[in-house]
Chains A and B, each alone.
Chain A
């Protein structure tokens, strides 16, 4: 395994479901990120973890709950989502403190019905 791995690649869920997205990085980086990518909109930063501590929560609704148990793993727990939450959710990691060079996973394409 190399780089940043995200599972599942695709997820369809109802508004009452609870699901989790998983991200694992094999690069030895110390910062991990969740981004949301919607059609025709810029990438939106959701959460940043540095050395396993959350350093950024970009006004994300509480129905999204991140978890970073160690520097290699990052989760995004989802519950009672809305159809407008359908998007590509991207995980990234970085080593440099400024976060200029991000390494992204391939994303989880989420559809909320």
Chain B
């Protein structure tokens, strides 16, 4: 079983839609969860991170962790074409070792 599983998509939605991106993880000991965004021909950049369960909001982005079901989500409100990218979820397996999901390719259509 993979440590972090993520549907690779691709996912295509119209501009202004609410986007939901999701991952599941295998180890209940994981505490920190991150979302990275990767534009084409660029490296990933950290979008948000959360600790343990609950929600965290930053502008149009909301990260949600449900530890009971080992499920992490990223919601994007009022999606824009500039949000088109690959979104990677990640967690920390041990000191300085991030484990990533496969990434979901998202396209926002004008």
Chain A residues within CB distance 8 Å of chain B: 4, 31, 33, 40-43, 45, 48, 50, 55-56, 58, 90, 92, 94, 97-107
Q: Are A42 and B103 in contact (CB under 8 A)?
A: yes
Q: Which of A41, A55, A106 sits near B96, CB closer than 8 Å?
A: A55
Residue in A closest to B46 when the chains form the complex, CB atoms: A101
Which chain B residues lie closer than 8 Å to A41 at the CB level? 102
Residue in A closest to B90 when the chains form the complex, CB atoms: A43
Q: Are B92 and A98 in contact (CB under 8 A)?
A: yes
Interface presence of B110 (CB below 8 A): no
Q: Are B45 and A104 in contact (CB under 8 A)?
A: yes
Total chain B interface residues with beta-carbon distance under 8 A: 25
Which chain B residues lie closer than 8 Å to A92 at the CB level? 43
Q: List 6 A-B contacts (CB under 8 A).
A: A42-B88, A42-B100, A42-B102, A43-B100, A48-B96, A58-B97
Residue in B closest to A45 when the chains form the complex, CB atoms: B97
Q: Are A99 and B8 in contact (CB under 8 A)?
A: no
Say yes or no: A100-B100 contact (C-beta < 8 A), given A105-B43, A106-B42.
Answer: no
Interface presence of B41 (CB below 8 A): yes
Q: Are B88 and A43 in contact (CB under 8 A)?
A: yes
